[in-house]
Homo-oligomer: A and B are copies of this chain.
């Protein structure tokens, strides 16, 4: 039998467009990984009548109902009251919950105002899902053969309650386990990935493969259902191998979080150091590399050389190079990479120069960027023609730099000799 789920997000702030409904996304994603079918997401305001109506509809069609938001201490937090009424349950003050809330305030050395007691009201017979990330506990009600969950709305609390309370309960009732792996791809688009894997995606039942696009990158999620982890790994392995074979060096990592995450990991392993000389990306590449904790192990520093004068005076890029080949040229990018490695005494130097827009000498120059990585007296370079607004172009250029760096670190792509 197919388990049918739906999400009801309670919060006028979502209907006013003040916040994105990110809770619904992370819950949806988790349900999808568990193989539970989510058929509806509904957002409704902090309004008793409308929430009652939405809840009644949900109870008529879904096995699992997950409500988020409206569990807090203020008068417009009505989720528990509305749900209890819909199910004909009384709300009862739970002593343990009340103690936990009191302890939370004591620890923070703040006086607890009386309205916080409302958070300790629990529908009769419901299970309390302990909230270690805030004050309002989550709730699970089993009603006939349906399960109604309530999770706090603040994303940090919601995500932790989902991972640590809801998912374990939902897993328990499903047979076996579901395991996913993420194959991260850069250099070809989602549609190209889809094309290359079309027969796999069409035929695969278990494990399955699904491509995604995100921030100019592609991602393939492969998922297996099995009795245990070992069996799941056995199912995933041949599919993973086949996908990597087809996508080639466009695959830059498995289960890593991002290009910078993978680059940092490889830099730490190889004990090599890196520095950058950035023009149009204005510090974005350095920012991404240093966003990884422990970056000081491989990253001593970096320069943003936005003008020709700085490229020339501080970075020591030769005047002739800029005059002969232009400030946006392979040669300038190469010298920037080399000079970064000299200035900061690093094994690897990365240079980026180009026009991120919206202004450029001509329309043809818009998005024209050179990225170059220097390593062991050799260079790996890429000429880019990027389309998009300033921020998108800058992001893609820095992503290409990270991809070239990763390829070198993997020795997939040994740099060419100095020209």
Contact = CB atoms under 8 A, between A and B. Distances in A.
Contacts of A45: 39
Interface string A12-52: 00111111111011111111100000111111110100100
A32 B16 contact: yes
Contacts of A24: 21, 43
A295 B356 CA distance: 11
Contacts of A50: 39-40
Most chain B beta carbons < 10 A, residue from A283, A293, A307: A283
A47 B358 CA distance: 42
B16 A28 contact: yes
Contacts of A299: 282, 306
A349 to B, nearest CB: 14
Nearest to A389: B293
A309 interface: yes
A284 interface: yes
Contacts of A225: none
A39 B50 CA distance: 8
Interface string A293-316: 111100111111111011000100
B29 A41 contact: no
A291 interface: yes
Contacts of A19: 25
A368 interface: no
A202 to B, nearest CB: 14
Contacts of A357: 293
The residue in A300, A304, A314 that gathers the most chain B C-beta atoms within 10 A of its C-beta is A304
B306 A304 contact: no
A26 B32 contact: no
Contacts of A29: 16-18
Count this chain's copies in the assembly.
Answer: 2
A212 B18 contact: yes
A218 to B, nearest CB: 12
Interface residues of A, number: 66
Nearest to A13: B212
A15 B43 contact: no
Interface string A344-361: 100000000000011100
A331 interface: no
Nearest to A284: B287
B21 A390 contact: no
Contact of A290 (B43, B283, B301): B283
A40 B54 contact: yes
Nearest to A33: B17
Contact of A304 (B16, B57, B283, B390): B283
Nearest to A54: B40
Given A20-B20, A28-B14, A343-B314, A282 B293 contact: no
B283 A302 contact: yes
A291 B390 contact: yes
A30 B42 contact: no
A121 to B, nearest CB: 24
B307 A301 contact: yes
A42 B285 CA distance: 39
Among A24, A26, A47, A358, chain B packs the most CB atoms within 10 A around the CB of A24
A135 B299 CA distance: 46
Contacts of A47: 39
B283 A285 contact: yes
B26 A17 contact: yes
B42 A40 contact: yes
11 contacts: A14-B25, A16-B38, A17-B30, A20-B21, A41-B43, A42-B43, A57-B57, A282-B299, A284-B287, A286-B304, A301-B314
Given A282-B299, A293-B390, 6 more contacts: A17-B28, A40-B54, A41-B41, A287-B287, A294-B359, A301-B314
Which 7 A-B residue pairings sit nearest by Cβ, starting from the closest? Answer: A17-B29, A282-B290, A283-B286, A17-B28, A283-B283, A301-B310, A41-B43
